[in-house]
Chain A
Amino acid sequence: MIEFDHVHKRFGGHVVIDDLSLRIGSGEFFVLVGPSGSGKSTLLRTVNRLVPIDAGQVRIDGEDVATRDVEILRRGIGYAIQSVGLFPHRTVAENIATVPRLLHWPEHEIRARTTELLALLRLDEPGMEARYPHTLSGGQQQRVGVARALAARPRIVLMDEPFGALDPLTRESLQASLKAIQRDTGTTILFVTHDMDEAFGLGDRVGLMLDGGLVQVGSPLELLHAPADDRVRDFVGGARARLRELAIRTVGDNMRRGEHADGDPVDAAASLQDALAAMLAQGRDRLPVQAHDERVGAIVLADLVSRRA
């Protein structure tokens, strides 16, 4: 659990974080979203004390981070950044093993963990562990960066626009990997991005940050359906908010159970956006839904268009 308690931070005369309080639960995937300069990266860095705060308190599981030994604190928190920052003089395996080494894990455990992470992040092509960062693609480098952040099984991981520099396909594949890993491990993730689609796709809850303060905190659907003010409404996309909503909601939650339809089926776990795309592609306004290779119902265009929540 991460708690920000009336946190203040200024750089020179400029207020970057203005009396901010927030509580992030254990196992939660929390996304801070906002434009450049809104203070979201600064807030993230107060957790591992890369940025010291001027007033207030940041607590992890009830303990003020300011009272912890800073190196031990940081070794216990995963950290991934947009520019990755892999060590150019170390191999992929050595990069991943960085924090376990700092924590003096036994060598065989480090090797086992590295192998496990290479597989988890789909970096398991032969010879990968012995390669140097400069021989990897941008997407592979960031996968190594994420593996390095997860290596010591931290209960909290901080991620500062880790996928910001990647092409859309690579980004989506990494987002999917990360979301799956987070669900499986129950890691608490605090994730910073300026990309609303990324925020809504990943976050259990999203906090919209503007000018050093949180304007609204809630689930993606809460932000879409009940924006706190016009700034939030603008930021979540105005008229295009409905499209974002389709990307978040699943077919399974919105289908007509037991009804029949013709055409190629869509999966119950797919998003409504995928279903809409399939309808457009097949030229139909209702499609069968399948779950575990069994027809379970139908998804209907009119239901997507209606304002039913």
Chain B
Amino acid sequence: MRVAVSLALLVALLVVLPHSAAWFHAWQPEVSHPLYSRHSFFALTLSHVGLVVAATSVAVAVGLGLGIVATRPAGRALLPTVRAVAVIGQTVPPVAVLAIAVPLLGFGAAPTLLALALYGVLPVLGQTVAGLDQVPKPVLHAADGMGYGRWRRLLEVELPLAAGPIMAGVRLSAIVGVGTATIGSAVGATTLGSPIVEGLVGNNAAYVVQGALLVGALALTVDAALAALERRIRRAPREHR
């Protein structure tokens, strides 16, 4: 339900905004170009989503991988370090990561992708470790006793039972990504932040509103879709455990 409403809002904005020059002109009569036109809103949205999807995919791969390694018997020693890095990493603001990434990677999408991916790793990692830790010990003991190998136990028992928490981490990672990608426009990435940054620099409130409306609708849609997916995974068979 929430997915349908927020998606409808996003689509409506994408359809209506390109034809809304007259309204923004009425609101800001002194501005010569009241409608952002360097890129189409549709192209901005696609580019924004593409960046988030790419960064979140990297974050899930790295976060899930590290989380699995840190919860294996051989990797347990890494667990405190992994947790500490995750917490410290979270305290560094994304803007700082962008500032550090630009001299290394130049302007454009690359430093934004790096910042988003680094940021996105942390919630996935944290939730993977938490989810795998809460799988009941007798279940693991029984699985070992019946002759599951390590990989098989991980794939068929541990990950399915940890899927709910892990999905919560993926969702958080994607939502933070949608917001942070907006800032990426400050270092030259093409995202829904582009009209906002240009509007702020050029003192054009209409651009800021156009960008903000779309980012807001996109964030709601992504959150609703991933929340619905998470509910489905969690509900599977275990609601009253």
A residues bordering B, Cβ < 8 Å? 48, 50, 70-76, 79, 81, 83-91, 98-99, 102, 132, 134-135, 148, 158
Contact = CB atoms under 8 A, between A and B. Distances in A.
Contacts of B74: none
B147 A102 contact: yes
Contacts of A91: 237
Interface in B134-154: 136, 138-149, 152
Contacts of A74: 144-147
Given A79-B146, A99-B146, A84 B138 contact: yes
A88 B145 contact: no
A89 B146 contact: no
Interface in B103-134: none
A237 to B, nearest CB: 31
Interface in B224-241: 236-238, 240-241
A79 B142 contact: yes
Contacts of B149: 71
Given A87-B157, A89-B238, A81 B147 contact: no
Contacts of A148: 146
B141 A81 contact: yes
Residue with the highest number of chain B CB atoms closer than 10 Å, among A50, A98, A135: A98
Contact of B136 (A50, A85, A132): A85
Contacts of B166: none
B192 interface: no
B188 interface: no
Contacts of A99: 146-147
Contacts of A98: 146
A81 B136 contact: no
Nearest to B239: A134
A158 B240 CA distance: 30
A239 to B, nearest CB: 38
A72 B147 contact: yes
A268 B142 CA distance: 40
B176 to A, nearest CB: 29
A84 B142 CA distance: 8
B216 interface: no
Given A81-B138, A85-B138, A88-B161, A132 B237 contact: yes
Contacts of B237: 88-91, 132, 134
B139 to A, nearest CB: 5
A81 B143 CA distance: 11
A15 B142 CA distance: 25
A177 B17 CA distance: 73
B160 interface: yes
Contacts of A81: 138, 141-142, 145
